[in-house]
Amino acid sequence: MEHPLHFYNTLTRKKERFIPLNPPFAGLYVCGPTVYGDPHLGHARPAIAFDLLFRYLKHLEYKVRYVRNITDVGHLENDADQGEDKIAKKARLEQLEPMEVVQYYTDRYHVCMDLLNVEKPSIEPRASGHIIEQQQMIEQILKNGFAYEVNGSVYFDVEKYNKKYNYGKLSGRVLDDLMTNTRELDGQDEKRFPYDFALWKKANSEHIMRWPSHWSEGFPGWHLECSVMSTKYLGKKFDIHGGGMDLLFPHHECEIAQSVAAQGEDAVRYWMHNNMITINGQKMGKSLGNFITLQELFTGAHKILTQAYSPMTIRFFILQAQYRSTLDFSNDALQASEKGMQRFFAAVKSMNNLVPKETSTVDIKSLRNNCYEALNDDLNSPVVIAHLFDAVKMINSVSAGSESISKNDLDELKRLFRDFFFDILGMKEENASASDNEILKDVVNLMLNLRMEAKAKKDFVTSDKIRDELTKLGFEIRDKKDGFDWTLKS
């Protein structure tokens, strides 16, 4: 290809040409969710950013093995080495077996990913399914002298590692600076050094997720699973490791240290990080009251939302920013995306009805090349969308009769949308638009309010008729003390 794919490598801090280790194969590992709660906005961005990469690599005819893990053990509260396991805590609060929590939220994550048209990874390994491999890696790190055991727990020796290698090369942090800015945390006295991190933790008596090992009955440290599962499925050296910028330090920094300590060299050749999402200019957080789950976005059921937003609106909105730029969610911005996306789908519809003429007055020659150039420049999806929008304008002009298009050009235009808009950007037509759903909701509520009025007037013939007719249409109506509740059975 004339313009080969380049993307920004966080490790070297520059845009580099992508040259896979064993073409045509390409290995991609992305840190997946910790499954202890409903998938939220923060999950949508990395999923879509790396879905775009996955789709584009396949379009370029690479044979991609895409591994995205499920964290189901070892991720403790506050991402620290102390505190309760996030999944075990949820299990305790809900009185469930931890793996019930894992299954429930993994299923919900998958439903949301399907709705967002995020393709399934090739392999989706779980941390709890790789305890033996994690123990083997700990043994290797211990053997190489970069870890130590205290009271049944094993910690990574950051200071010793840093003497031989460079701890902090991914994040650009310097250990001495880290040291001066670190306050000693309570209960971390087992560690020789505050920045040491757990490879294996001895489980205390209340800890329910535990496995036997040489050192103690316990559980692996959070960072270990990704070092283990990436190299297990992609090889000791593999092409791309992705994840959100929030994982860069300490998670990915620790991953590098573990791999180097175990095998003497880095496992990853290109590190890629997507930027974060803010909401009305603020970081998303439960304490700020702006924490929005994907389900709430799709249904509009959150106090800061003025309407529901369809999954494709969310996808389009995320793709309208390059993955390394910040992205701010607001109702205005989402409504603008919704309108923009609807113009695309309307144009695709009219494109399929265009009648070609002998000659073209529109110039579509450079469009395909422009789209490739934008993608090859660090997956610049907003620029791709801008070029496709030029095509939308052409379609509208031809449709209005002010321009004409030849059969060859029309065929190429159709291929352009198929390749870039549908296959690579991953957009798809949704059955009912969000506004249709809103109208449906209003109409059903209106009918049920009329039924309540009829009941209040003791006009039971009318009230029963409304209920029976709605039931026949598939609605399930439940009367409540102060009103009603309904759902549409699918």
Least distance to Zn ion from the beta carbon of 226, Å?
Answer: 3
Cβ closer to Zn ion: 108 or 273? 273
Q: How far apart are CA 403 and CA 409, in angstroms?
A: 13
Q: What are phi and psi of 203, to 5 degrees?
A: -80, 130
Residue with tokens 């920013």: 321
Least distance to Zn ion from the beta carbon of 248, Å?
Answer: 11
Least distance to Zn ion from the beta carbon of 222, Å?
Answer: 8
Query: Do the Cβ atoms of 94 and 41 come closer than 8 Å?
Result: no
Smallest CA-to-CA distance from 388 within 434, 343, 421 is with 421
Cβ closer to Zn ion: 142 or 256? 256
Query: H or E segment at 29?
Result: strand 25-30
Instruction: Determine the interface stretch with Zn ion among 29-37, 177-185, 309-317, 403-411 (rule: CB under 5 A).
Output: 29-37
Cβ closer to Zn ion: 70 or 318? 70
Cβ closer to Zn ion: 254 or 448? 254
Least distance to Zn ion from the beta carbon of 247, Å?
Answer: 6
Q: How far apart are CA 416 and CA 260, in angstroms?
A: 44
* 318 is a site residue for Zn ion (CB under 5 A): no
Query: Which one among 87, 199, 226, 395 touches Zn ion, defined by CB under 5 A?
Result: 226
> Is the Cα dihedral 74, 79, 80, 86 positive or negative?
negative
* 267 is a site residue for Zn ion (CB under 5 A): no
Tell me the longest C-alpha to C-alpha distance in the chain: 86
Q: Is the peptide bond before 250 cis (omega within 30 degrees of 0)?
A: yes
Cβ closer to Zn ion: 261 or 427? 261
Least distance to Zn ion from the beta carbon of 31, Å?
Answer: 3
* 348 is a site residue for Zn ion (CB under 5 A): no
Least distance to Zn ion from the beta carbon of 200, Å?
Answer: 17
Q: How many CA atoms lie within 13 A of 349 on its CB side?
A: 8
Helix then strand then coil, % of the chain, to nearest 5: 50, 15, 35
Least distance to Zn ion from the beta carbon of 71, Å?
Answer: 7
Cβ closer to Zn ion: 226 or 347? 226
Instruction: Determine the interface stretch with Zn ion among 36-44, 46-54, 225-233, 310-318 (rule: CB under 5 A).
Output: 225-233
Q: Which residues pair with 149 in a beta bridge?
A: 154
Smallest CA-to-CA distance from 319 within 44, 29, 14 is with 44
* 256 is a site residue for Zn ion (CB under 5 A): no
Least distance to Zn ion from the beta carbon of 63, Å?
Answer: 23
Least distance to Zn ion from the beta carbon of 286, Å?
Answer: 22
Cβ closer to Zn ion: 236 or 441? 236
* 127 is a site residue for Zn ion (CB under 5 A): no
Cβ closer to Zn ion: 127 or 318? 127
* 321 is a site residue for Zn ion (CB under 5 A): no
CA dihedral 413, 417, 423, 428 (to 10 degrees): -150
- DSSP state for residue 57 in the 8-state scheme: H
How many residues belong to the site for Zn ion (CB under 5 A)? 2
CA dihedral 253, 381, 329, 272 (to 10 degrees): 0
* 229 is a site residue for Zn ion (CB under 5 A): no
Q: How far apart are the first and last CA of the chain?
A: 47
* 31 is a site residue for Zn ion (CB under 5 A): yes
Q: How far apart are CA 323 and CA 49, in angstroms?
A: 6
Cβ closer to Zn ion: 150 or 248? 248
Interacting residues with Zn ion (CB under 5 A): 31, 226
